[in-house]
Amino acid sequence: MKKFFLLFVTLSLCYFVTPAQAVFDPLAVPNNRVGVHILDPQEIHQAAKLVNSSGGSWGYVTIPIRSNDRDREKWIRFFDNAKKEKLIPIIRLATYPEGPAWVKPTPFDLVDFANFLSDMPWPTKNRYIILFNEPNHANEWGGEVSPGEYATMILDANRIFKDRSVDYFLLSAGLDMSAPNSKTSMDAFEFYRQMNVYQPEWLAYLDGLSVHAYPNPGFKASPYTTNRYGILSYQYELNYLRTNKPIFITETGTLRESGFWIPAFEVWKSSNIVAITPFILMAGSGDFAGFSLLDPGGQPKTAYWEIERVPKIAGSPLLANPVIIESLASFKSGETSSAPLNIWQRIKDLFTPKVVISKLRVRDSEIWVEIADTESKREQGLSGRDKLDSDSGMLFIFDRPDKYSFWMKDMKINLDFVWIRDGKIVYLSRNISNPTTLYPPYDVNKVLEVNAGFIDANKLEVGDKIEVWQTTK
């Protein structure tokens, strides 16, 4: 077995990984399943015209992001435009081609992607991530097919992304259901079988499945074909894996000139399908020209108009929390806050008496806490601190319960977060580092920041009582 696989295994065993739990079920609300696959962030406006046509809104757009294309300004514009256009992004991770194959991803790529994407203004609470593409093809995985490596990478991704935000909704890579067993590819079910051998619990660490449902053979089969190579191939995958996880058809397409899309969407009426994003909106004159919904001049083809006529609804996804508690260091560096202070609140803060130090008790431990109960204090937070005493912390107090966001930008120390509602712990976040944006899955009205390691050292648990009283130090 290759040394690189051992690296994956070693890194995975260095920590405990918990099974994936989606924060929010996308099928629990009205959902516009119609979407489209694009290759360039600038295509998002054209995508919205199709996806949200005929009265629809909050459809989906699948787009790859390469490890050598993490241009912050470009991708912030993409996410901002997604919000304006009422589109839900599905981000497919990718490396870059080197010779005939795409470079094999590593856990370090996952860390870089997670850090980069955690700094993006996601429009919805669920942050959909596809973990690469068709790894049952050698040219998609560094020139070899390695089910064990891919299964182990899923465990790595779960730890890395979920540590940064519980809102990451992790999806498997879609497999090529028509790939044969050969030197350069592996049958999809054999690929799954070997994944199960190497990591029997891999499926538990995903929130959903990304699938490729093409009308094969030849991309021209009838949409009513029911064999494992047609557009219902995902049903065979679900049966093999014995799962009912939500399905995202992130690639599908046909070389038929007409008569495919309207009946296909009727076939895809299964209740567990979240999104259907046909490949591809615009391929230009490249290898995928036959699948393109727009011609090289950008004009709609017959397939485009068929999808445009597909009935759509106004989706109602749970949107991302707009409240960001940002470190004051961003003001000092000349950046603009996404939530600037109200000038009258600043004046009020100057003349309002404040309790600077209080005492907090949890279980058998007592610590001194600074109280952050105004906008200015919450923005300042612990930014700029080189260290925090072991018996100290900061307690953020809010007027009403909500899922308050915390941005670790420019923080110098790692922290544990204790999320509190009505005097009891409701959630715990360990060893949070810069840069991370996080918020709890439940409404809270207090948040305690302490040194990383405090939670485990003091054996804190959900349900523990928190007592706070005023005192002097």
CATH of the domain at 286: 3.20.20.80
Contact 439, 404 (CB under 8 A): yes
Same domain, 208 and 86: yes
Same domain, 267 and 358: no
Q: Quick check: is 11 in a domain?
A: no
Query: Considering 250, 274, 309, which residue would you say is the last residue of a domain?
Result: 309
Phi, psi (degrees; rounded to nearest 5) at 282: -140, 115
CATH of the domain at 388: 2.60.120.1140
Same domain, 358 and 264: no
Look at the chain and report how many structural domains it folds into. Answer: 2
The tens digit of pLDDT for each residue in 186-226 reads 999 999 999 999 999 999 999 999 999 999 999 999 999 99
Q: Is the dihedral of CA 157, 318, 71, 298 positive or negative?
A: positive
Same domain, 249 and 346: no
Same domain, 338 and 421: yes
Same domain, 275 and 358: no
The tens digit of pLDDT for each residue in 305-331 reads 999 999 999 999 998 864 333 333 333
Q: Quick check: is 173 in a domain?
A: yes
Cis preceding-peptide flag for 435 (omega within 30 of 0):
yes
Same domain, 127 and 204: yes
Per-chain mean pLDDT for the chain: 87
Band of residue 350 on the pLDDT scale cut at 50, 70, 90 = very low
Q: How far apart are CA 180 and CA 178, in angstroms?
A: 6
The tens digit of pLDDT for each residue in 408-435 reads 766 889 999 999 999 999 999 998 887 6
Average pLDDT, integer, range 254-275: 94
Identify which has the larger pLDDT, 356 or 455: 455
Range of the domain at 444: 324-470
The DSSP code for 342 is P
Same domain, 287 and 371: no
Q: Quick check: is 316 in a domain?
A: no
The tens digit of pLDDT for each residue in 283-299 reads 987 789 999 999 998 99
- pLDDT at position 455 is 93
Q: What percent of the chain has pLDDT over 70?
A: 85
Query: Considering 249, 278, 309, which residue would you say is the last residue of a domain?
Result: 309
Q: Please give the distance of CA 153 from its chain centroid, rounded to a whole number.
A: 16
Q: Quick check: is 445 in a domain?
A: yes
Q: Quick check: is 198 in a domain?
A: yes
Same domain, 230 and 282: yes
Q: What is the CA angle 90-235-170, rounded to 5?
A: 30
- pLDDT at position 433 is 82
Q: Quick check: is 2 in a domain?
A: no
**Three-state SS for 59?**
strand
Band of residue 24 on the pLDDT scale cut at 50, 70, 90 = confident
Same domain, 347 and 291: no
Q: Quick check: is 9 in a domain?
A: no
Structure tokens at 147: 């089910």
Query: Considering 309, 344, 375, which residue would you say is the last residue of a domain?
Result: 309
Structure tokens at 366: 């007592």
Helix axes 147-164, 3-13, angle to 10 degrees: 30
Q: How far apart are CA 457 and CA 467, in angstroms?
A: 19
Same domain, 51 and 92: yes
Structure tokens at 291: 């699948």
Judged against a pLDDT cut of 70, whether residue 348 lies above it is answered with: no
Same domain, 430 and 466: yes
